[in-house]
């Protein structure tokens, strides 16, 4: 069962604000990859696509003299920490199940290790799916944050993902019924 759809998240003003800041096109592409990877790995497509869509909502734009400064970003960035908490608050407001909201928030927290001094993260399959989906769509120098998409195309792709998930849920519940 899905408590909240991707379109409901997409429509929320908080999501609009932060998704547009960090790159709507990137967020949607990562959600699409996450869907495929989640199917492959047998993890929840619902959780994976939500974490993927919201993984960068904690981004702050690091500017120096009107230009985005990558070094300043590397030095000060905590977007995964901020994003995890921001996404959690948004999901709870929208009526997401509390356990699921936590799983999603933790996957966002662990989608990068950029804020850690060193060391490797031990990821669970859901967290791995989100991190991999993000990596696949990344461009050198943060270019993926600036890719453009019209809000109409963004909505259509979000609706498509919601539909794919609903179809998948219908399929699996019919299989369970007749098993
Ligand atoms: Fe990202």
Q: Class for domain 6-172, per CATH?
A: mainly alpha
Q: How far apart are CA 112 and CA 73, in angstroms?
A: 14
Q: How far is the CA of 135 from the centre of ligand 1 (A)?
A: 7
Residues 6+ apart with CB under 8 A from 166: 2
Residue 32, Ramachandran bin (φ over 0: left; ψ between -120 and 50: alpha; else beta): alpha
Q: How far apart are CA 135 and CA 55, in angstroms?
A: 12
Mean pLDDT of 108-132: 89
Q: How far is the CA of 138 from the centre of ligand 1 (A)?
A: 7
Task: Quick: pLDDT tens for 24-55.
Answer: 999 999 999 999 999 999 999 999 999 999 99
Q: How far is the CA of 55 from the centre of ligand 1 (A)?
A: 6
pLDDT above 70 for 156: yes
Q: What is the pLDDT of residue 115?
A: 82
Q: How far is the CA of 168 from the centre of ligand 1 (A)?
A: 26
Q: How far is the CA of 142 from the centre of ligand 1 (A)?
A: 9
Q: How far is the CA of 130 from the centre of ligand 1 (A)?
A: 9
């Amino acid at each position: 069962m899905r408590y909240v759809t991707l379109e409901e998240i997409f429509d929320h003003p908080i999501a609009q604000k932060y998704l547009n800041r960090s790159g709507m096109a990137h967020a949607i592409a990562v959600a699409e990859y996450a869907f495929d990877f989640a199917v492959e790995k047998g993890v929840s497509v619902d959780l994976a696509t939500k974490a993927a869509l919201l993984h960068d909502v904690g981004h702050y734009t690091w500017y120096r003299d009107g230009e985005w400064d990558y070094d300043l970003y590397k030095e000060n960035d905590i977007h995964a920490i901020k994003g995890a908490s921001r996404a959690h608050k948004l999901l709870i407001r929208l009526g997401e199940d509390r356990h699921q909201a936590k799983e999603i928030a933790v996957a966002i927290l662990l989608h990068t290790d950029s804020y850690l001094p060193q060391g490797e993260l031990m990821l669970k399959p859901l967290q791995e799916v989100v991190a991999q989906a993000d990596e696949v769509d990344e461009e050198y120098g943060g270019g993926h944050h600036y890719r453009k998409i019209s809000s109409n195309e963004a909505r259509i792709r979000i609706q498509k993902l919601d539909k794919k998930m609903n179809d998948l849920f219908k399929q699996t519940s019919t299989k369970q019924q007749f098993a």
